[in-house]
Amino acid sequence: MPRKTVAEPGAEKMYRSISEVSELLDVKPHVLRYWETQFTILKPRKNRAGNRMYRPEEVKLLYTIKELLYGRRYTIAGARKSLAGEKKAPTGQLDIGFKDAGRKVTLSEVREDLVKLAAALREPPPRRRVLKT
């Protein structure tokens, strides 16, 4: 019975070894280990033997890092900033919790009171009547 050496396209592996990932990305394993030290968001799990096991999300992240460094010619620091910017990018609707909503109400009330106080301070003071006796 012949052995299958090529993975089926639909079968996505749960974990890949560093040698598999280095073949996928066409970089040497020591480059992947170096990237792990430079990009803190890259944390592959290690098995009992201490071998790195990459999940599909980490493989996608490695593709992105490779594209930034080799394709777009970013520096390590520039790639780090770019990845941090993508992570912080807003993803649609803003969700504020109940604590923040309470603060919004309080801040709007304080703002209204300050506007009223400023308006009262702008008005000229009332004239005082002096009673002659």
CATH number, position 52:
1.10.1660.10
Q: What's the pLDDT score for residue 36?
A: 95
| 125 within domain boundaries | no
Token pair in block for residue 62: 């490695």
Instruction: State the burial class of residue 44 (Cβ atoms within 10 Å of its Cβ: 0-12, 13-18, 19+).
Output: buried
Does the pLDDT at position 101 exceed 70? no
Does the pLDDT at position 10 exceed 50? no
| 54 within domain boundaries | yes
Whether residue 53 contacts residue 16, with contact meaning beta carbons closer than 8 Å, is answered with yes
**Which pTM does this prediction carry?**
0.58
Give the span between the Cα atoms of 66 and 83, in whole angstroms. Answer: 12
- Of 6-20, 28-42, 63-77, 111-125, give the lowest mean pLDDT range: 6-20
List, in order, residues 6 or more apart from 34 with CB less than 8 Å away: none
Domain count, the chain: 1
Cα distances (Å, whole numbers) of residue 27 to 58, 60, 111: 15, 14, 58
Element (H, E) at 102: helix 98-122
Q: By residue range, what is the domain housing residue 23?
A: 16-87
| 42 within domain boundaries | yes
Give the span between the Cα atoms of 89 and 110, in whole angstroms. Answer: 31
Q: What is the mean pLDDT of the chain?
A: 83
Three-state SS for 3? Answer: coil
| 9 within domain boundaries | no
| 40 within domain boundaries | yes
| 124 within domain boundaries | no
Element (H, E) at 53: strand 52-54
| 132 within domain boundaries | no
| 20 within domain boundaries | yes
